[in-house]
Structure 1
């Protein structure tokens, strides 16, 4: 879904460049915050996979609650600002 920072982070670690690895980890942390700020992990990741990779994961099963349209639009806006939409 968003593998580039993870790959760069592992390369930096393998090349003994911890500052570069930390920079990539911070990019990942920022994206995870954007995705999960409006709900639980499963519900938000299902939406994110649809927005970022065109993978339809369907709605979360009860007792989990799906995101509202407003929450999805907010996620779309923030991920779009980072050019992460598919």
Structure 2
């Protein structure tokens, strides 16, 4: 997001905003108030969170579990033929994001 905003994009639609809206809002705010340097560590944190989530499976598998873990919304499991992540994968995902202190 940071680099897109710096290149002239004025908005963004991303699955990660459903999970970590506070980061998306702050990144946008900082860039458009001339404080892109303050947005950089937030973008890095968001990038690390996405990497720590998505490494356990497909985009739909991982993002659904992340929404259940990190938001107040239970979006339910993925539909067939996509299978749900294992408990171990979900626990590892949670730990990967927890250490980022988002």
TM normalised by structure 2 equals 0.71
Question: Structure 1: which 5+ residue stretches go unaligned?
Answer: none
Equivalent residue for 1:24? 42
Question: Structure 2: which 5+ residue stretches go unaligned?
Answer: 1-18
Q: Would you say the 8 A contact 2:62–2:85 is kept in 1?
A: yes
Equivalent residue for 2:87? 69
Residues 39-82 of structure 1: per-residue CA shift (max 9 Å, x gap)? 11111111111111132111111222210111011112222323
TM normalised by structure 1 equals 0.83
Equivalent residue for 2:30? 12
What is the CA RMSD across the aligned residues, in angstroms?
A: 1.6
